Amino acid sequence: MNFKEAAGVQAADVVTSGMKVGLGTGSTVYYTILELGRRMKEEGLQFTGVPTSEATEKLALELGIPLAELWELEPLDVTIDGADEVSDSLDLIKGGGAAHFREKMVATVSKRLVIVADESKAVAKLGAFTVPVEVAVYGWRSTARRVEAEGCVAVRRERSGEPVRTDNGNYILDCDFGLIVDPGAVDRRLKSLLGVLETGLFVGMADTVYVAGPQGVRVLKQQAGE
């Protein structure tokens, strides 16, 4: 079992029958979703999922997991998702797979956000990974200029020479801020800019993080009052 699988499978334990569950996106929570599908078939686990991306929706449907729209189910009991960076205070950078807009929307209406990651994602402070920022296609160069004025270098994400489009049809700017001392302030400043739709900074949202490494799976919990 690789580290992503170890974290992903263990975190599936938080789901019990009757729950409404946000299903995250990426190569780590993939294993959580597989495990939930297995428990559904083999152990009779019953739950309803809300997918955070088209890729996750496809996977869940292949596994026979019942799905619903966010508005039909909110508030959700828990969302399980991956992350690109997890800081000591459990703040996150997400959106390496361009799914952070829907992920944040689903996590925001969930009573709990549980994160699964391998040790390579754990950092003291955020910032080695660039911050993905979803922006409207119209006027994106102007938006990028406003974003850069906040103290970063912003590069439009491309694949094979073509701009990446999110599931919502927008562009991603990958923004290099260097070390981020106050992620909440950076998130608020970016969100106030015209053309910015969502950032990949998830501040104070995760309550539990499963981090897998050579020593096994560590379970980190948000301290009360943080």
Ligand X SMILES: O=C[C@H](O)[C@H](O)[C@H](O)COP(=O)(O)O
- Is 64 annotated as ligand-binding? no
Indicate which residue of 5, 35, 57, 103 is catalytic.
103
Collapsed DSSP state (helix, strand, coil) of residue 141: helix
Q: 60, 79, 87, 100: which one contacts ligand X (CB under 6 A)?
A: 100
Rounded to whole angstroms, how far apart are CA atoms 24 and 64? 16
Nearer to ligand X, 26 or 195 (CB): 26
Residue of the chain from 7, 12, 70, 83 that contacts ligand X (CB under 6 A) = 83
Cα Rg of the chain, angstroms? 17
| Contact with ligand X (CB under 6 A) among 22, 37, 49, 95 | 95
Are the beta carbons of 134 and 193 closer than 8 angstroms?
A: no
Identify the residue among 22, 26, 49, 183 touching ligand X (CB under 6 A). 26
174 is in an annotated binding site: no
Closer residue to ligand X in complex, CB, 70/72:
70
Is 26 labelled as part of a ligand binding site? Answer: yes
Q: Is 96 in the site for ligand X (CB under 6 A)?
A: yes
Question: What span, in angstroms and rounded, lies between the C-alpha atoms of 12 and 211?
Answer: 13
Judge if the upstream peptide bond of residue 75 is cis by omega within 30 degrees of 0: yes
95 is in an annotated binding site: yes
Query: Which residue from 6, 7, 23, 28 is in contact with ligand X, where contact means CB under 6 A?
Result: 28
User: Is 81 near ligand X (CB under 6 A)?
Assistant: yes
Q: Is 103 a catalytic residue?
A: yes
CB of 97 to ligand X, least distance (A): 3
Residue whose structure tokens are 């998130």: 187
Task: Give the helix, strand, coil percentages of the chain, each rounded to 5.
Answer: 30, 30, 40
Measured distance CA(7)–CA(30) in Å, rounded: 11
How many whole angstroms separate alpha carbon 84 and alpha carbon 126? 10
Between 84 and 91, name the residue whose CB sits nearer to ligand X: 84
Compute the least distance from the CB of residue 99 to ligand X, in Å: 3
Q: 29-61 burial string, b = 16+ CB within 10 Å, else e?
A: bbbbbbbbbebbeeeebebbbbbbbeebbebbe
Give the binding-site size for ligand X (rule: CB under 6 A): 17
- Asked whether position 49 contacts ligand X by CB under 6 A, the answer is no
Residues forming the site for ligand X (CB under 6 A)? 24-28, 81-84, 94-100, 103
Q: What residues are labeled active site?
A: 103
Binding site for substrate, by residue number, is: 25-28, 81-84, 94-97, 121
